[in-house]
Amino acid sequence: MKQELPARASEKTGRWHYGEVVRELAEAKAERMAREELARRNWDEETLLARRKGDSAKVAIAQRLRRETTMTLAWVAERLKMGARTHLAHLLYCHGHAGKKKAKYY
């Protein structure tokens, strides 16, 4: 069954899919997306380890994974070698608010 997951990851889940199957499909989709992003940057797993935990490219990949999948912060942080999930949450927050003007109070 696990060999079939990547092929089935593009299928939509419905009411007949339950718990573990849905989670495995979501994880397979997220893993595929992570590999695509790494390949797009010509990175391998060693490069991923060598880059800083807060690297802006890693943050961009994490933002996409969080936006397009249901994977947890812990999963994304571990997969991208970004440290603790709380550190990733902080990075996502900071990068999400970068460039936005602060409200002025008069």
Number of CB atoms found within 10 A of residue 19's CB: 7
- Tell me the per-residue pLDDT of 64-87, one tens digit each, with 9 for 90 and over: 999 999 999 999 999 999 999 999
Instruction: Provide the whole-model pTM.
Output: 0.76
What mean pLDDT is predicted for residues 95-104? 64
Q: What percent of the chain has pLDDT over 90?
A: 64
Exposure b/e, 20-57, CB count within 10 A at least 16 = b:
eeeebbbbbbbbebbeebbeeeebeeeebeebeeebeb
What mean pLDDT is predicted for residues 19-40? 92
Per the CB < 8 A criterion, the answer to whether 48 and 81 are in contact is yes
Domain spans in the chain, listed from the N-terminal domain onward:
5-96
Residue 1, pLDDT above cutoff 50 = no
Q: What are the respective helix, strand and coil percentages of the chain, to the nearest 5?
A: 60, 0, 40
